[in-house]
Amino acid sequence: MTKYIAIAVLSLTLLIPATSNASRYKFEDSRSGALIPGKAYLGIKFGKLSINGDLDSAFDALDLDFPELETDNIGFVFGGEINEYLALEFSYTETVSREEKNIFKLGPTLKVSSDTIGLFLVGRSQGDVYVKGRVGYTRMNQEVSYLDFSEDDNIYGIAVGLGAGIKIREGIGLEVEYTLFPDTETLDSTELVGGIFEDDLENELVTIGLVWSFE
């Protein structure tokens, strides 16, 4: 359900500005609160990527919970504005610290790392305080380690994100953002997690960062 709500809100974020009267478009002076169409921007961000899943109903009688796994990710974005509302953005993050947890509160620890890369279409409102949404095609490289087992998979698909920002000085903004990446498929992984999950695992990234715009 979270995924469908995010997609619906994001669609409105991107479509409403795009359908505005084209005659209202104009280049803004750099001293205004708006970003100048055609400018490029570069940002750095830090956040946590959470991996969540529900155990199959067969485990209900054992009263076990799959531990929510989190990784600390750092990354950057680089983009160029198409017009005053839309931009094209390249994004990359990599895991710098991965959490270790006992799987099902029993036995050895499970370790996960997740690196992400993607190209996004970004919609953004104007002003010193703004909201933004993005949709893009991404690849997540996810590595799972448990006992002597290690699996490294590339997960491709559509990611959606929502965020907000505030201009803290000329050409510099502070942004927070939520991104929902493609799910990790579990049904084909028979060695580690096959058959124990009700559905695939959700991958959610929450970040905070600084963005610099320049000509």
- Domain covering 2-17+36-214, topology: Porin (2.40.160)
Per-residue pLDDT, 32: 40
Q: What does the DSSP assignment read for 61-86? A: GGT--PPPEEEEEEEEEEEEESSSSE
Residues 185, 211: Cα–Cα separation, whole Å: 33
Q: Per residue of the chain (215 residues), give pLDDT as tens.
A: 454 444 444 444 444 444 343 333 333 444 344 444 568 999 999 999 988 776 555 555 555 556 677 899 999 999 999 988 999 999 999 999 876 666 555 555 667 889 999 999 999 998 999 999 999 999 999 887 766 667 788 999 999 999 999 999 988 999 999 999 998 876 444 444 445 555 577 899 999 999 999 87
Structural Rg of the chain based on CA atoms: 20
Residues 127, 171: Cα–Cα separation, whole Å: 12
Supply the pTM of this predicted model: 0.73
Angle at Cα 130 formed by Cα 126 and Cα 135, nearest 5°?
95
